[in-house]
Amino acid sequence: MFPIRGDMLRVMPELIWCGFGVLLMLFQPFVRNRHFFTTLALVGSLLGTLSALWPAALGGTAFGGIIQADAFSFFFHLLIGLVVSLVVLAAGPYLERERLAFPEFFALTLFATAGMGVLASAQELVTAFIGLELSSISSYVLAGYRRDSLKSSESSLKYFLLGSFATAFFLYGIALVYGATGSTFLSRMADAGASSNLLKLGFSLILIGLGFKVAVAPFQIWTPDVYEGAPTPVTALFSSGPKAAAFALLLRIFASVPAATQFWFWAFWVLAVLTMFAGNLGALVQTNVKRMLAYSSIAHAGYILVAFASVTFLAQEGAAAAAPAYAAILFYLLSYALVKLGAFTIVSQFGGEGEKHLSLDDYAGLGQRQPFAAAALGLFLLSLLGLPVTAGFFGKFYIFKAAVNSHLIWLAILMAVNSVIGAYYYLRLIVVMYMREPSAETASSAPMRFPLTVNLVLTIAAASTVYFGLFPNQVLHFVLQTNLLGH
């Protein structure tokens, strides 16, 4: 079967991202200029993002139904593309400071992006697996990109070993699902109508595999170490891009799972509670800011799982009933990705050469020394905390609403308790920044000047956080459409 033109257009973003990744590698031996690579990578990621308009306009499926082009995949392509473009922008100064090679970094980032894109639009499990591997393998390398740092190598190795293990679960799950339904196409699974234990087991294994990727407790052990060890721009990418993509696939799968929703409902309920508590309680005792933010992303995965529990509950009453819960997840992922990206970008800047300044004490008195950066970080933290006038507030609000809609009052209350625990550690960082005097050593050093690109990234992240916190209408309108999932 030869790919026809329509098929190619429907995977245009992935093609462009991969193509530019290859271009970067080709140019590497010939071009010395670092800015050339940054520009090339930026152009590639932006072009790929823009080209997502094609599949969105075309709709339908490609390559015999393995790729689905719909509003859902369009949303995630835009989100991932935006995240990656910002990461590319912010990574340049970091790579320069740490004296790391530019082209490979950007090439790997773009390959990972293509993998995430596939994840977001895969309609068939083996294709999804390819996407997962494409993004994971690039991620393993990126995590260890600071070769001379022990922590970075440890991070890479840990991620690789545990990640491959999780992928094996995912693959085994696909095999079992195939055994139960005779198909790997998600669309045909709903028709198979089987609710056998074999199918449940298969989907459970898939859930474990993807749960690992999005750091769901009890499969979250790797997260703090990997996030801490990886170069910070990579951490920024990990905490937003692949997470969104894996959640996208998870959502697509569990939107098509036949019957037995009750089972998945309880599975998500338990996982959500475990994950929220694991993340928040872990973050409470951290003194390293990067590690604290890593634990916080576990906690946020837990909040998103609350909405998943709500999706599986409402799906029993039909797809239309579950639409607000889908919308909640999508909006939350958007707000969360922007905020986490911004926060890690600031952490990456303050880390200084060799990422030495990551402890809470290093942030003392930042409010006075660097008012703008501190204000931006404060804004991101407040958004993570879920205070009004930030996108995070609406994200949390819609999840609460989805939970209450599904009569998950206890889950909502547990989430409320977790929000308060979370408030403590986010506030602690704000308190340190604004209410403590800087240590003698940091007070004497000159304030750090942020490169233009980093400032641009921070401005975009902060402005959109406030904008979506005041006017969430357009995004909501988009994610609330009924034919989100194309079928």
Partner 1 sequence: MHPGGHLLSVLVFFPALGALALLLLRGDDLVWIRRLALTISIAEFLLSLLLIPGVPLGVAGYQLEEFARWINVPPINYHLGVDGISLFLVILTTFLTLISVIASWKSIEHRVKEFFVMLLMLEVGVNGVFFALDLFLFFLFWEVMLIPMAFLIGIWGHERRIYAAVKFVLYTMAGSILMLVGIIWLYNATGTFDLPKMQQFLQSGALVLPARTEMILFLAFFLAFAIKVPLFPLHTWLPDAHVEAPTAGSVILAGVLLKLGTYGMIRFCLPLFPNASRRFAPAVAVLAIIGIIYGALVALVQPNLKKLVAYSSVSHLGFVVLGIFAFNPISMQGAVFQMLAHGISTGALFLLVGMLYDRRHTFEISEYGGLATPMPKLAAFFLFVALSSLGLPMLNGFVGEYLILLGTYQVHWNWAAWAASGVILSACYLLWSYQRVFFGDLTREKNRTLPDVSPREKWILVSMAVITLWMGIGSLSFTRRFAASCQNVLDQMGPGQAREAAAPEKSAPPRGSALVAMPEKTSVERTASR
How many amino acids of this chain bind partner 1 (CB under 8 A)? 31
Residues 128 and 122 sit within 8 Å (Cβ to Cβ):
yes
Q: Which stretch binds partner 1 (CB under 8 A): 117-125, 260-268, 277-285, 432-440?
A: 432-440
Tokens coding 99: 């004296």
Nearer to partner 1, 40 or 432 (CB): 432
Contacts of 199 (CB under 8 A, 6+ apart): 176, 177, 180, 181, 258, 260
Q: Does the footprint of partner 1 cover residue 372 (CB under 8 A)?
A: no
The contact mask relative to partner 1 for 324-363 (x = CB under 8 A, - = no) is x---------------------------------------
Q: Which stretch binds partner 1 (CB under 8 A): 181-189, 283-291, 305-313, 416-424?
A: 416-424
- Find the binding residues for partner 1 in span 374-413 (CB under 8 A): 382, 387-389, 393, 397, 400-401, 404-405, 409, 412-413
Nearer to partner 1, 248 or 403 (CB): 403
Q: How far is the CB of 361 from partner 1 (least distance, A)?
A: 14
Q: Does the footprint of partner 1 cover residue 482 (CB under 8 A)?
A: no
Q: If residue 18 lies in a helix (H) or strand (E), which one and from where to where?
A: helix 12-27
Nearest to 102 by CA among 36, 152, 188, 50: 36
Residues 189 and 258 sit within 8 Å (Cβ to Cβ):
yes
Q: Does the footprint of partner 1 cover residue 472 (CB under 8 A)?
A: yes
Q: How far is the CB of 382 from partner 1 (least distance, A)?
A: 7
Query: What is d(CA 427, CA 435) in angstroms, rounded to the nearest whole number?
Result: 11
Coil, helix or strand at residue 267: helix
Query: What is d(CA 314, CA 262) in angstroms, rounded to the nearest whole number?
Result: 10
Q: Does the footprint of partner 1 cover residue 435 (CB under 8 A)?
A: yes
Binding test (CB under 8 A) with partner 1, winner from 368, 442, 481, 487: 368
Binding test (CB under 8 A) with partner 1, winner from 9, 284, 423, 460: 423
Q: Does the footprint of partner 1 cover residue 436 (CB under 8 A)?
A: yes
Integer angstrom CA distances of residue 388 from 63, 385, 416, 429, 461: 44, 9, 15, 19, 16
Q: Does the footprint of partner 1 cover residue 460 (CB under 8 A)?
A: no
Q: How far is the CB of 283 from partner 1 (least distance, A)?
A: 15
Nearer to partner 1, 266 or 424 (CB): 424
Nearer to partner 1, 171 or 284 (CB): 284
Helices vs. strands in the chain: H and E counts, helices first: 22, 2
Q: If residue 302 lies in a helix (H) or strand (E), which one and from where to where?
A: helix 289-314
Integer angstrom CA distances of residue 57 from 64, 87, 457: 18, 27, 29
Nearest to 92 by CA among 461, 455, 459, 462: 455
Q: Which amino acid is at 466?
A: V
Q: Which amino acid is at 254?
A: F
Q: How far is the CB of 378 from partner 1 (least distance, A)?
A: 9
Q: Does the footprint of partner 1 cover residue 281 (CB under 8 A)?
A: no
Nearer to partner 1, 449 or 477 (CB): 477
Binding test (CB under 8 A) with partner 1, winner from 266, 372, 424, 467: 424
Nearer to partner 1, 3 or 371 (CB): 371
Q: What is the residue-wise DSSP string for 347-361?
A: HHHHHTGGG---BGG
Q: Does the footprint of partner 1 cover residue 64 (CB under 8 A)?
A: no
Q: How far is the CB of 473 from partner 1 (least distance, A)?
A: 6
SS3 for 304-350, per residue? HHHHHHHHHHHHHHCHHHHHHHHHHHHHHHHHHHHHHHHHHHHHHHH
Query: What is d(CA 481, CA 383) in angstroms, rounded to the nearest whole number?
Result: 26
Binding test (CB under 8 A) with partner 1, winner from 4, 420, 448, 452: 420
Nearer to partner 1, 15 or 423 (CB): 423
Q: Does the footprint of partner 1 cover residue 187 (CB under 8 A)?
A: no
Nearer to partner 1, 209 or 469 (CB): 469
- Quick count: other Cβ atoms within 10 Å of Cβ 12? 21
Strand partners, 288: 359
Give contact residues for partner 1 (rule: CB under 8 A): 324, 368, 382, 387-389, 393, 397, 400-401, 404-405, 409, 412-413, 416, 419-420, 423-424, 427-428, 431, 434-436, 472-473, 476-477, 480
